[in-house]
Structure 1
């Protein structure tokens, strides 16, 4: 297939692009390469994808990746901002995508508090350009990134897609919940199959510098203190990047269908009579932040100096995914232990930064 991957220079997008290329799909990558974090890291991810598509990848961390497939798909890249309506319309018209994996977004819970318009431009207007492109050009399935932040004030854990998610506590989560509702309207009106994936705290090699594991690693190696919010007591369902990727692709391959038994008197929040689904992708094994830091200290061989602070505005105390509907629909269940995931991240970080 020919598949559009938006956010291809991003953490998750670059890994998804590699996976799809490895199985022989042609991938068109899109990213605006903004400076929310180091654009050089984004360019390095793109170079890695390009090297793999040309069978020259040898990054010293995952040498087996070039052996995954005898036939690699073709990769092309477009630097486009999602909110650029003419450019997005031209891209969809020219390429004729079979399916779309939409991972580009303005990320970050705390950044959304001070920069809300960036989230409207990227996550609302940008998502609409993707929906319009899919609608007008016969895309067979749109899979897009949502977030565990959509659960917001819900404290009933594990978080289940069978329960409402209508009280986000951060604007970032609100924009992602809006995406789910926008997608439903297009699935209902135009029969566009859409699947939203609520990711739970993704980590791993080639990760984002604004995420905790990346920030902690850099600070510890630089002999700097780390800020530990909620005094280290909150739990996160840390989900390794390979598990996220396989969940994304499994969802992509199982095209959303309408549920003929959906009851409007008792409406299930994760499905519809329209071809629209919502799934969680999480590890189902919440880990206390202090334990996570301990695993990192063990891999680095250094203790962290910790500054203990209260919970930040917009954060939730705990996250915990119920992935039973994902397993039922696709047969895939994330399973990478957090200690193994942290080990792989540290190996990548040391190699990439010569640390």
Structure 2
């Protein structure tokens, strides 16, 4: 993907070298405008990384000490980490056994009177049942914050990821569908006041009246212009790259034996962007070892649920059986836009031959 944007990025960086506008400036403002338009929101606020996007959003919503935020336990640790950094407590929720995503039912099961918000994670590139989650959250009187780090461009109904809740939080880590050449992130929202607060919090809490007027306790979490140039160039390719991922996933679905390596389920009513090709296999350690010997690299997303990690065990109220069972079996297969169909066919054939059948036949 780097080759697709090298020329445009090099030209943009050359302009930055001439201007010296490495923090803020036209490049950042242009990308923020383009990203907000892409997501269908009024504002996009660039920040240093996806964790800060979540952390600062919780703080901008006034969430802190004494508050709780519902977090699906099947997620990257940053979702829970951001809640704790804001001074609040994560309330871990289980997930659907087919999609491995949070549901209205698991959200409600995790509720307490102290819950102020839910972090809805669009894991592996797919959005959960947003209509049901939004209705449940509205009835419960809590905010919906989208952790869309793995879902740049995903849709549910007519709206893209980030445009459903009060805010959508993105990571542009290099491995993401839209990835920078380093760390970067953004928050999108159509709430004018929330956007204004985020702009201050990301920049040492500065107020609009002057460089040394600090009205809030903020931090240094600015999206720099070097990464904004990269992201602006890549954004023009994102829909095509996502379409290529979808085509490759269709090959996996056609060829992988569902009794050997069932892929994570798809929800009707949305379009995922297939950040990861996640299946579930028995005897995973052996399967991974034999796949590596065959030249197939794999990953695990994620081997340890958040509520079982040492820093977060104190926030757990009990077992979450679906998440815990899935963590022992999930396996991520190779997937990126320029992967060849023939390679996908070889991976699927190898997995079918190596992994044990789930029925025992």
TM-score range, shorter chain: under 0.3
- Which has the larger Rg? 2
The two structures have a TM-score, normalised by structure 2, of 0.28
TM-score normalised by structure 1 residue count: 0.28
